[in-house]
Structure 1
Amino acid sequence: MSQQGATLQTYNNELVKCIEDLCAKRDELHKQILLEDEEKMKIQNDITILTERLARINESLARKIQMRNDFDKTIAETESAYNKILESSQTLLHVLKRESGNLNAKISEGPESSGT
């Protein structure tokens, strides 16, 4: 009977050791879970911060693109108006030269030829 008691004690000791080993592994796994959960929370916080930053940059970018488009439109309208002014100036200069030539021709003919 004492042999059976010794065997039972050996089994009991091994069982306790196995339970302690399992508890140690569980505790180590729990520590890893806590560390990863902490890292996860930090990453989620970073994502939130970066998402907000991205939204602000997108808004700023949209405003600046709209402003650039407004500049492009104003420049195009101004260049078009300026080109019309240049064309009008060229036409005016051409007309002025022609009329000046006509007046010079009349002056060259003199007053005597215009009265006949």
Structure 2
Amino acid sequence: MTQQAAALQTYNNELAKCIEDLRFKREELNRQIKQEEEEKERLQHDIRLLTEKLSRVNESLAQKQAARATFDQTLAESEAAYTKILESSQSLLSVLKQQTGNLSKVTDVRRKEH
């Protein structure tokens, strides 16, 4: 019976060691799970912050793009009006030169007559 008792003691020791190994592995896995849960929380927090920031940037960008569109329209209208002013100025100058020329001819003719 001592042989059986020794065998039983050996099995008991091995069983206790296996259980201890399982507990150790479980604790190691538990530590890893805890680390990953903390990382997950940090990442979710970062995602929330980045999502909010992205929303603000998108809103700002939309406002600036709308303002740029208004600038573009105003510039196009102003450039078109300026081009018309230049064309009108050129026409006016041409008419004035012609009238000045005509008046000079009339004045020159009258001077010669006197």
- Structure 1 and Structure 2 fold alike (TM over 0.5): yes
Give the 4+ runs in structure 1 shifted more than 3 A: none
Amino acid at match of 1:46: D
Match of residue 35 from structure 2:
35
Amino acid at match of 1:9: Q
Q: Is residue 99 from structure 1 mapped to residue 102 from structure 2 by the alignment? A: no
- TM-score, structure 1 normalization: 0.90
Deviation per CA, 1:45-86, whole angstroms, max 9, x where unpaired? 101110110111011011111111211211111111011101
Give the distance between the partners of 1:86 and 1:71, measured in 2 at CA.
22
Alignment of 1:48-63 (within 5 A): 48-63=48-63
Count of residue pairs brought into register by the alignment: 113
CA shift for structure 1 position 100: 1.4
Amino acid at match of 2:102: N
User: Structure 1 stretches of 5 or more lacking a match?
Assistant: none
The percent of aligned pairs where both chains have the same amino acid is: 58
- TM-score, structure 2 normalization: 0.92
Give the distance between the partners of 2:107 and 2:42, measured in 1 at CA.
95
Give the distance between the partners of 1:92 and 1:44, measured in 2 at CA.
71
The alignment's C-alpha RMSD in Å is 1.6
